[in-house]
């Protein structure tokens, strides 16, 4: 087990290339189950969530071959193998095996998913969708059993706008008989990316990117090659890091429109952001104005950038208020930032950051992926050395984060943890 160490205060300069989107990758891989021949996905990020999903595809009989950032999945020998335990619990997106296996085999047994602890993360809307399509769904000892004699298209209104439910229902509906309409669907770019793959496989999908998606089921889907979109959350994290500790940083391989809400907030703070076709240039000023942020579904400010943005706010004059309307309990970074001398309190469900404060290096723990990103941003700004444990969470979603930041000029490195440190971490 490793920890990340950062000697703060060194300016960031140069160019960083963004990897393929984690939240697309984790849906594109299970989507390949639906094809009858090989699917190649190009530009996948080298992160542990991708490794775990590749292992799960192999567990159900798929042949997975990897070359650099490209993966080919041959589903020819896949079977409806139950996956009640084990690796499905390591990540959130294993829930996509439900929709994909239901669509392909008419049945699936999948353990309830893991992923970041952000407060309650129910999957009732996924289940409601599967049931509307004609599946019987039961929860037996923490595993979801799904079975359908025949999937039939249906009209499904999502009670909450959910990325996972929208994609999962889409995965099952592309093979259902007749027409499915998903109303109040989520509109995130990753949903469009998954629909693009499915369409290239032969699915008939209209309306992705709006809140009504229409799907006409088809009897079979074929393999194809698909290039993943860049990771808007990774791009946003580097943009925040560049604002916090950069002189001039170019973020390469980004679709600026995907993070307009963040760019607007950075500009409001006084950071210069120049956008090109696939690049962003970030140049912070000497001082930062405080801003308030409220996370919303896309195209609103993404919850996945709320935690790293909170670290940046510690540098701003006066008071900024952060409200997460998607995951109100996504607060595990707060105590750790306080350990680093941030002046932060939680009041009425919002986080109130008073600044500017000079952060100080400390021993801190990343208890989820974006809390880890927040602590890295804080460590880059802090005096002295910050030691971050819980690196497994960070490696679920950021490809080569220490290498990429080192190339920008950060002093950041990994060390193996001692047995004593591992025990302390497990008990904390
Ligand atoms: C693998 C993946 O893509 N993860 C992303 C995905 O998670 P995930 O797909 O799990 O998040 P959702 O969009 O489903 O969740 C949005 C909100 O709806 C609620 N909800 C969701 C489903 C449901 O059946 N019932 C229900 O009540 C959730 O508790 C949450 O409050 O979108 C989140 C919101 O943008 C991001 O933070 C995650 O990074
Ligand atoms: C919450 C996240 O991931 P997951 O849904 O996979 O836990 C995230 O990417 O910030």
Final residue before a domain boundary, out of 181, 200, 227: 227
Domain end: 203, 227, 251, which one?
227
Question: What is residue 109's predicted lDDT score, i.e. its pLDDT?
Answer: 97
pLDDT of 79 reads: 97
Q: What's the chain's average pLDDT?
A: 96
Would the annotation count 123 as a binding residue?
yes
Q: pLDDT of 343-358, one tens digit each?
A: 999 998 899 999 899 9
User: Confidence class of residue 428 from pLDDT cuts 50, 70 and 90?
Assistant: confident
Residues 249 and 303 in one domain: yes
Nearest CA to ligand 2 atom 9: 304
CATH code at position 100: 3.65.10.10
Q: Ligand 1 center to residue 12 CA distance, Å?
A: 33
Cβ–ligand 2 distance for 361 under 6 Å, the answer: no
Residues 129-154: pLDDT tens digits?
Answer: 999 999 999 999 989 999 999 999 99
Q: Please compute the mean of the pLDDT values over residues 73-93 and round it to a whole number.
A: 94
159 and 303 inside one domain: no
For residues 206 and 333, membership in a common domain is answered with no
Is the confidence at residue 116, as pLDDT, over 90?
no
Supply the range of the domain harboring residue 113: 22-227
Listed in sequence order, the residues at least 6 apart from 290 whose beta carbon sits closer than 8 Å to its beta carbon are 269, 313, 316, 317, 318, 319, 320, 353, 355
Whether 118 shows a pLDDT value over 90: the answer reads no
Nearest protein CA to atom 23 of ligand 1, as residue: 123
Mean of pLDDT values over 3-12? 98
- pLDDT value of position 424: 86
State the DSSP code for 290: -
Pick from 93, 68, 104: which is nearest to 198 by CA? 104
Answer yes or no: do 416 and 269 share one domain: yes
Please, which residues have CB within 8 angstroms of residue 401's CB and are 6 or more apart in sequence? 4, 376, 394, 395
**The pLDDT value given to residue 148:** 97
User: Is residue 86 located within the same domain as residue 109?
Assistant: yes
> What confidence score (pLDDT) does residue 120 get?
85
pLDDT tens digits for range 195-213: 999 999 999 999 999 999 9
56 and 102 in a common domain: yes
Range 84-92 average pLDDT: 91
Between CA 24 and CA 208 the distance in angstroms is 14
Q: Does the pLDDT value for residue 425 go beyond 90?
A: no
Q: What's the whole-number mean pLDDT along residues 21-41? A: 98
Question: Domain end: 182, 205, 227, which one?
Answer: 227
Q: Are residues 420 and 325 in the same domain?
A: yes
* CA-nearest residue, atom 36 of ligand 1: 304
Q: For strands 63-67 and 70-74, give the pairing.
A: antiparallel
Q: Tell whether 155 and 280 lie within a shared domain.
A: no
Check whether residue 186 and residue 83 sit in a common domain: yes
If asked whether residues 220 and 185 sit together in one domain, one would say yes
* 12 and 26 housed in the same domain: no
pLDDT category at 372 given cuts 50, 70, 90 is very high
Does 121 show up as a binding residue in the annotation?
A: yes
CA atoms within 13 A on the CB side of 409: 15
Note whether ipTM > 0.95 here: yes
* DSSP states along 61-72: T-EEEEETTEEE
- For the stretch 238-277, pLDDT in tens is 999 999 999 999 999 999 999 999 999 999 999 999 998 8
Verify that 406 and 304 share a domain, yes or no: yes
Residue 124 labeled ligand binder: yes
Q: Residues 145, 151, 155, CA angle at the centre, nearest 5°?
A: 105
Give me the active site residues, please: 116
Q: Out of 20, 31, 94, 160, give the residue to mutate to test ligand 1, the one with the largest number of ligand atoms within 8 Å of its CB.
A: 160
Q: What is the pLDDT of residue 213?
A: 98
CA–CA distance, 19 with 408 (Å, rounded to integer)? 16
pTM exceeds 0.90 for this model: yes
| Ligand 1 center–CA 290 separation, angstroms | 28
Stretch 53-63: mean pLDDT? 97
Q: Is the pLDDT of residue 46 over 90?
A: yes
| Number of structural domains found in the chain | 2
């Amino acid at each position: 087990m490793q920890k990340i160490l950062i000697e703060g205060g060194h300016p960031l300069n140069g160019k960083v290339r963004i990897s393929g989107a984690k939240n697309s990758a984790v849906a594109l891989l299970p989507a390949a189950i639906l094809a009858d021949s090989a699917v190649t996905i190009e530009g996948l990020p080298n992160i542990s969530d991708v490794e775990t999903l590749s292992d799960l595809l192999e567990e159900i009989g798929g042949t997975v071959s990897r070359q650099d950032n490209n993966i080919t999945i041959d589903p020819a020998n896949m079977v409806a193998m139950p996956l009640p335990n084990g690796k499905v619990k390591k990540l959130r997106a294993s829930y996509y095996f439900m929709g994909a296996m239901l669509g392909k085999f008419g049945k699936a047994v999948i353990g309830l998913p893991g992923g970041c602890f952000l407060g309650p993360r129910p999957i009732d809307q996924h289940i409601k969708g599967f049931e509307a399509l004609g599946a019987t769904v039961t929860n037996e000892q923490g595993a979801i059993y799904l079975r359908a004699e025949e999937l039939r298209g249906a009209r499904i209104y999502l009670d909450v706008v959910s990325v996972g439910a929208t994609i999962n229902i889409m995965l099952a509906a592309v093979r259902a008989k007749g027409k499915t309409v998903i109303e109040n669907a989520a509109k995130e770019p990753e949903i469009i990316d998954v629909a693009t793959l499915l369409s290239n496989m032969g699915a008939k999908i209209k309306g992705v990117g709006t809140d009504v998606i229409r799907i006409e089921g088809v009897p079979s889907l074929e393999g194809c090659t698909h290039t993943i979109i860049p990771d808007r959350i990774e791009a946003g994290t580097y943009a925040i890091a560049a604002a916090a500790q950069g002189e001039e940083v170019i973020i390469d391989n980004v679709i600026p429109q995907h993070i307009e809400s963040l760019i607007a907030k950075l500009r409001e703070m006084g950071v210069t952001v120049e956008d090109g076709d696939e690049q962003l240039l970030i140049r912070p000023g000497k001082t930062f104005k405080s801003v308030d942020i409220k996370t919303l579904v896309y195209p609103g400010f993404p919850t996945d950038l709320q935690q790293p943005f909170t670290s940046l706010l510690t540098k701003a004059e006066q008071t900024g208020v952060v409200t997460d309307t998607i995951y109100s309990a996504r607060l595990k970074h707060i105590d750790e930032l306080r350990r680093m001398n941030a002046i932060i309190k939680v009041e009425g469900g919002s986080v109130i950051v008073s600044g500017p404060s000079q952060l100080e290096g400390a021993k801190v723990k990343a208890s989820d992926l974006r809390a880890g990103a927040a602590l890295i941003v804080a460590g880059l700004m802090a005096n002295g050395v910050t030691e971050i444990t819980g690196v497994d969470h960070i490696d679920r979603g950021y490809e080569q984060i220490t290498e990429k930041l080192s190339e920008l000029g950060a002093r950041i490195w990994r060390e193996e943890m001692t047995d004593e440190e591992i025990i302390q971490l497990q008990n904390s």
